[in-house]
Amino acid sequence: MPRKTYTRDSIIQTLQSLAQRLEKDTLSHADVQGVIPISTVKSRFASLGNALEAAGLRRKALGENLANRGPRYTDDEMFQALLELEKRLGHEPLWTEMKAFGGISSSNERRLRSAKRCTSANAVLWRAN
């Protein structure tokens, strides 16, 4: 079966009909990916934002897609939250416990995982203070 070829005009029409069907004034990568490969959109328009503008749709503001990713913590705030949760639970919290009780979102989880090897040493220092 031959691969479908998308022109700039066919991409614009597809984006417009998709937005109308979803009743949205803008589209996300997830919305578009199921219909047109993002790589195809980028090869024709350089970015999804450019394609949305060409289709007369609203381009998302810088950082708009990050708005619902949960709170961001400084390293000190994360360690403090981790230590408080450890005191409350009586043991070093599991990742699932940190998410459920400690308010650690997935956007902070990667930073916390990479810093976890330092947690025990920091806990000892903080308890000494």
With a threshold of 0.85, does the pTM exceed it? Answer: no
Q: Which two tokens stand for residue 83?
A: 């230590």
Contact 108, 78 (CB under 8 A): yes
Q: Report how far residue 6's alpha carbon sits from residue 40's, in angstroms, rounded to the nearest whole number.
A: 7
Where do we find the tokens 């990667």? 110
User: Along the 129 residues of the chain, how does pLDDT read in single tens digits?
Assistant: 567 789 999 999 999 999 999 899 999 888 888 889 999 999 999 999 999 999 999 987 766 655 555 556 677 777 777 788 788 888 877 767 776 665 665 556 555 555 554 555 455 444 444
Neighbours of 15 (CB within 10 A): 24
Tell me the C-alpha distance between 115 and 17, whole Å.
46
- The set of residues, in sequence order, having a beta carbon less than 8 Å from that of 16 and lying 6+ positions away, is 55, 56, 57
